[in-house]
Chains A and B, each alone.
Chain A
Amino acid sequence: GDSVTQMEGPVTLSEEAFLTINCTYTATGYPSLFWYVQYPGEGLQLLLKATKADDKGSNKGFEATYRKETTSFHLEKGSVQVSDSAVYFCALSHTNAGKSTFGDGTTLTVKP
């Protein structure tokens, strides 16, 4: 079956540091890939997505590129802010199949 593996956290960075959160997946076919974010006290929100190989998803300064050859979708941001402190989830979904498969999440804390 499908699975998503994220780098283990927690991750603690200073403000303006570079962020990478690794995500790899196992799936048949060509799934779509997602990053969701959960801010403290809030629900899950879609952060960015990529629907085919070599697509780059981007939003709020975050980027991730769909790499089929390495089955990866690593999340990056050039300069993190305190407000980026949250739990980040990598996920995949097959076209028209409905359900998403999630990783276990990576907790990011950004210190001033």
Chain B
Amino acid sequence: GAGVSQSPSNKVTEKGKDVELRCDPISGHTALYWYRQSLGQGPEFLIYFQGTGAADDSGLPNDRFFAVRPEGSVSTLKIQRTERGDSAVYLCASSQDRSSYEQYFGPGTRLTVT
């Protein structure tokens, strides 16, 4: 079946602009995660949804970052007033439910802030 998809695959934006990144999880997966991966580092947790609600948003770096999942499926990560330090690959993953250990990762969105 289809895996986790993310769009766009690449996004170049100017400092100060807002961006929206989309994640489409595997159908039926109730848990959805956002991570950020900087060059040469491992993924860093941002936020975790169980269904429509954010179960853990402790990884969001500041209030410029927020994410929504209004219908419990597709999620959008929004970054306001982007800064050059926001440049990274943003990864989305989903799992069947909160007790499932296996997270399925999407290909990521590479965000470049100029």
Contacts and interface: CB of A to CB of B under 8 A. Distances in A.
A7 B55 CA distance: 32
Interface in A36-91: 36, 42-46, 49, 51, 89, 91
B102 A49 contact: yes
Interface residues of A, number: 25
B91 interface: yes
Interface in A74-112: 89, 91, 93, 95-105
A102 B29 CA distance: 22
Contacts of B31: 98
Interface residues of B, number: 28
Given A43-B106, A93-B101, A98-B55, A105 B45 contact: no
Given A51-B101, A93-B101, A98 B41 contact: no
A104 B108 CA distance: 17
Interface string B92-105: 01000011011111
A24 interface: no
Interface string A7-48: 000000000000000000000000010101000001111100
Contacts of B59: 99
Interface string B37-63: 000111111001010000110010000
B56 A101 contact: no
Nearest to B55: A98
Nearest to B48: A98
A41 to B, nearest CB: 9
A56 B76 CA distance: 37
B107 interface: yes
Given A42-B107, A104-B40, A99 B56 contact: yes
Nearest to B98: A96
A45 B41 contact: no
7 contacts: A4-B42, A43-B4, A46-B103, A49-B101, A96-B98, A98-B55, A102-B42
Interface of B: 3-4, 31, 33, 35, 40-45, 48, 50, 55-56, 59, 91, 93, 98-99, 101-108
